[in-house]
């Protein structure tokens, strides 16, 4: 099978969400920084779909792909081997990007001009990847019975089973409510504590059965799959996703070159709220109102590239149903980084 056919067939994973728009947004950063060999960072590499498009579209670019999942790294390296040293995979949680870029620069794997031009474009495609959902043994999907794992990094100590089997009623209810927006968090937590006294939770199928019994029938008929919110909440807790997201935004934008663009794709409201708030702070002008000119160091260093949150259109959703919940926000650096 030829290389293009392999990619189209899905051997290397699913079609990247909003592929053309991501190329357009990241491309604005590539053009804006004017770097001879621009550096693009795919902060959520997964199987490498977006990275592949960037490497094909921007032939002078070096793309650094970050992921905490070694199986994702291995699959992306296979997929992108033809690009040679223009593709660099680095295993880390994405809020470790500062150390990653420093390591790569000191090892001479990034272009020499990177020290002055910085990152031209970032993409953060948040949440669980299509590849992880499709690996039943990882326990991310509620549609298949599997071990209650949900770790994006298999070396991390906390699993979904441990959350269910060891958290107090209050802590578990908080996780389900805060990270899953689950109306019946307290009721589900009570049911989990009763069940685990009989036998610890080990598989997703048993949890799904409990949720069917616990969530009222009327809600099950109208609220989507009864396990959706609980599985999301457990995944976010196990992987500290929201803490990582809050930490990565300042780390990433601090290294964004003048004219560079950072793009964030959120799939649930908690992620989008964090991104929206952080980007609003980055683009805020801190000159007191009423003054005729900006005071030194109070003008915003960034402006918004997107107005509000962009959504996938009907054609995109039909082509790629996983794009339905996505919300895209992007920001561009308009003033030089300190010291540059």
125-169 pLDDT tens trace: 997 655 545 544 555 566 678 899 999 898 999 999 999 999 999
Residue 184 is labelled as binding a ligand: no
pLDDT at 213: 92
Residues 70 and 155: their CA atoms lie apart, in Å, by 10
**Model confidence over 63-88: pLDDT tens digits?**
999 999 898 899 999 999 999 999 99
Residue 308 is labelled as binding a ligand: no
pLDDT at 176: 97
**Model confidence over 15-26: pLDDT tens digits?**
789 999 999 999
Residues 108 and 128: their CA atoms lie apart, in Å, by 32
Q: What DSSP letter does each residue of 157-197 carry, written as one string?
A: S--HHHHHHHS-HHHHHHHHHHHH--TTHHHHHHHHHHHHH
Tokens describing residue 175: 């996780």
| Mean pLDDT, range 315-339, rounded to an integer | 91
Nearest Cα to Cα of residue 250 among 136, 105, 128, 122: 122
**Model confidence over 85-136: pLDDT tens digits?**
999 999 999 999 999 999 999 999 999 999 999 999 999 999 765 554 554 4
pTM, entire model: 0.88
Residue 108 is labelled as binding a ligand: no
Domain boundaries, the chain: 3-131+241-333, 136-239
Q: For all residues of the chain together, what is the average pLDDT?
A: 88
CATH architecture of the domain with residue range 136-239? Orthogonal Bundle (1.10)
Residue with tokens 């962009």: 310
In the CATH hierarchy, which fold is given to the domain comprising 3-131+241-333?
Rossmann fold (3.40.50)
Residue 65 is labelled as binding a ligand: no
**Model confidence over 191-224: pLDDT tens digits?**
999 999 999 999 999 999 999 999 887 766 665 6
- 202: helix, coil or strand? coil
Residue 50 is labelled as binding a ligand: yes
| Mean pLDDT, range 292-316, rounded to an integer | 86
C-alpha radius of gyration, the chain, whole number: 21
89: part of which helix (H) or strand (E)? strand 87-91
Residue 327 CB coordination number (10 Å)? 21
Residue 169 is labelled as binding a ligand: no
pLDDT at 322: 85
pLDDT at 140: 58
Long-range CB contacts (within 8 A, 24+) of 281-288: 282/249, 282/253, 282/331, 283/331
Residue 98 is labelled as binding a ligand: no
Q: Which residue has the higher pLDDT, 285 or 208?
A: 208
């Amino acid at each position: 099978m030829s290389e293009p056919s392999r990619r189209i067939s899905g051997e290397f994973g699913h079609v990247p969400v909003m592929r053309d728009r991501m190329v357009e947004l990241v491309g604005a950063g590539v053009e804006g920084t004017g770097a001879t060999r621009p550096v693009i960072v795919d902060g959520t590499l997964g199987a490498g779909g977006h990275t592949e498009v960037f490497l094909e579209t921007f032939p002078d670019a070096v793309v650094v792909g970050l992921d905490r999942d070694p199986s994702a790294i291995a699959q992306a390296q296979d997929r992108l081997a033809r690009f040679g040293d223009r593709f660099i995979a680095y295993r880390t949680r994405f809020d470790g990007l500062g150390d990653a870029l420093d390591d790569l620069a000191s090892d001479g794997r990034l272009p020499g001009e990177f020290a002055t031009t910085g990152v031209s474009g970032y993409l953060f495609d948040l949440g669980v990847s299509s590849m992880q959902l499709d690996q039943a043994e990882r326990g991310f999907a509620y549609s298949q019975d599997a071990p209650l794992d949900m770790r994006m990094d298999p070396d991390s100590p906390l699993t979904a089973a441990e959350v269910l089997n060891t958290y107090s009623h209050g802590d578990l209810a908080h996780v389900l409510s805060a990270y899953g927006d689950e109306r019946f968090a307290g009721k589900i937590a009570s049911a989990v504590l009763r069940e685990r006294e009989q036998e610890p939770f080990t598989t997703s199928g048993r949890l799904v059965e409990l949720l069917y019994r616990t969530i009222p029938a009327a809600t099950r008929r109208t609220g989507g799959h009864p396990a959706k919110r609980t599985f999301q909440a457990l995944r976010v807790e196990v992987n500290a996703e929201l803490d990582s997201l809050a930490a990565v935004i300042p780390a990433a934008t601090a290294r964004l070159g003048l004219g560079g663009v950072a793009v964030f794709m959120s799939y649930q409201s908690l992620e989008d709220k964090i991104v929206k708030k952080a980007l609003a702070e980055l683009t805020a002008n801190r000159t007191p109102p009423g003054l005729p000119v900006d005071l030194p160091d109070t003008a915003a260093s960034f402006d918004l590239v997107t107005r509000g949150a962009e959504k996938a259109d009907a054609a995109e959703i039909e082509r790629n149903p996983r794009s339905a919940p996505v919300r895209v926000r992007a920001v561009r650096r308009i003033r030089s980084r300190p010291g540059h």
